[in-house]
Amino acid sequence: MLIRMPAPSGHVELPRPKRLLWQAAWNILESVGLPFGLYVAVTDLVSPDAGLLAGTGVVWLLILIRKLVTGSSSALLMISAVILTIQTAVAISTGYQWMFELQFPIANLAMCVVFARTAPTRKPLVTQLAAEVVALKETNHPGLHRFFQGATWFWAGLFLLLTVGMGAMMVTEPFKLFILLSTAVTIGLTVLGAAVCAVWFFAVLRRQGLHLRFGGV
């Protein structure tokens, strides 16, 4: 279930691929798929504002349920809650088009702050995300801890870059092109960031003399 790092063996153990994929898929479905699907459905049936409220509401409901059942929530859910709450508040607060566009750079700036705030701590946000998405157990290995701190700073910088880029596009591009470009750039940088972190992670494992293997259930 969780990555175990027994000191004598020098191995980093992941769940078996089927279990790993299931856990990753469930967390993404819960924090992204469900609120987005509800947003699309309610928007189609009622209105965009109602869709935003429904998507935001279901995320906070999931957080409440997790708190009551397990005593804690997930970092992915909290990220979704922050983004959706900001976007909903800004998007429905006024009918001005520029205010609707403003939700995107503001949401990215908020994510930059969230990642940067945890980066220098003993529990950087990327550590929590790795535990949820790929079942990585918290470890005191100094090399891996430095990686997670660095990766958290990296994502903070990536969100800052998105903030600046979207702010510039707001004043230079027409509305439809802005929406298209902001979506494409966000997806592209997210995929690129994930790839960079994956390559970086495996490089750290090699440098630290650690080996990745699949085991558990």
Q: Which residues contact 173 (CB under 8 A, 6 or more apart)?
A: 181
Annotate 24-34 with b (16+ C-beta within 10 A) or e (fewer): eeebeebbbeb
pTM exceeds 0.85, yes or no:
no
pLDDT means over runs of 10, the chain (217 residues): 44 68 77 83 84 89 87 82 84 70 86 93 88 70 88 96 92 84 88 92 86 65
pLDDT of residue 60: 92
Number of helices and strands (H, E) in the chain?
Answer: 8, 2
One domain for residues 108 and 192: yes
How many domains would you assign to the chain?
2
Domain finish residue from 93, 113, 140:
93
192 and 122 belong to one structural domain: yes
Residue 216 lies in a domain: no
Both 115 and 145 in one domain: the answer is yes
**Residues 177 and 159 reside in one and the same domain:** yes
pLDDT at 13 (0 to 100): 65
- What is the per-residue pLDDT for 94? 65
Single residue among 93, 119, 137 that ends a domain in this structure: 93
Residues 21 and 102 in one domain: no
Within a domain: 187: yes
Together in a domain, 167 and 72: no
Range of the domain at 112: 96-210
